Structure 1
């Protein structure tokens, strides 16, 4: 195998490892929640705090957080 092919195989393997994360972040609402969490000055936020910073309801935030958590 040539070096280029080996590198492509490695990239494919790593992509498969993180594929669930890419899929989870493919949703605009989850991207918004992710950014809110990253931009918060402390580690961790409660659902009501996230709700205040997004257009989402509490049940929606909880739902999207579960999907993000399950994706790793």
Structure 2
């Protein structure tokens, strides 16, 4: 049962007093949160962060986690598609690093 006089935010007002998040911003944020909200991807992000600024290879990640290369690659693709990690090719090796815009936020999340 609802209280007789619910708080303003319970009636739909924004409790911060600012304008609500724009729809396109909300959708972009939801895509990022969906990409991050997975235990394996959080582990990968923590490992990539630990190897900054040089980056990490799939082989490095496979050797530290109990997953096979295809699983790691799948999760890295999701993070890359969300622009959370970047990848660069060095010969036959692919190096993954955190995207510049996500270094601080990922570090804060993993604290």
Provide the TM-score with structure 2 as the length reference.
0.52
RMSD (Å), alpha carbons = 1.9
Match of 2:17 in 1: 4
TM-score by length of 1: 0.76
> 1:49 Cα shift?
0.4
Aligned residue among 57, 71, 76 for 1:60: 71
Unaligned runs of 5+ in 2: 1-15, 84-111
Choose between structure 1 and 2: higher helix proportion.
Answer: 1
- Summarize deviations over 1:1-54 as a string: whole Å, max 9, x none: xx8152xx1xx2344322111001111111110110001154221100011121
Structure 1, unaligned runs of 5 or more: none
Q: Distance in 2 between matches of 1:51 and 1:42?
A: 19
| Structure with more of its chain in strand, by fraction | 2
The structure whose Rg is larger is 2
CA–CA separation in structure 2 for the residues paired with 1:5 and 1:45: 40
Match of 1:63, SS state, is: helix
CA distance in 1, matches of 2:63, 2:53: 16
Secondary structure at 1:4's aligned position in 2?
coil
2:30 to 1, 5, 19: 19
1:40 matched to 2:62? The reply is: no
Counterparts of 1:18 and 1:67 in 2: how far apart (Å)? 15
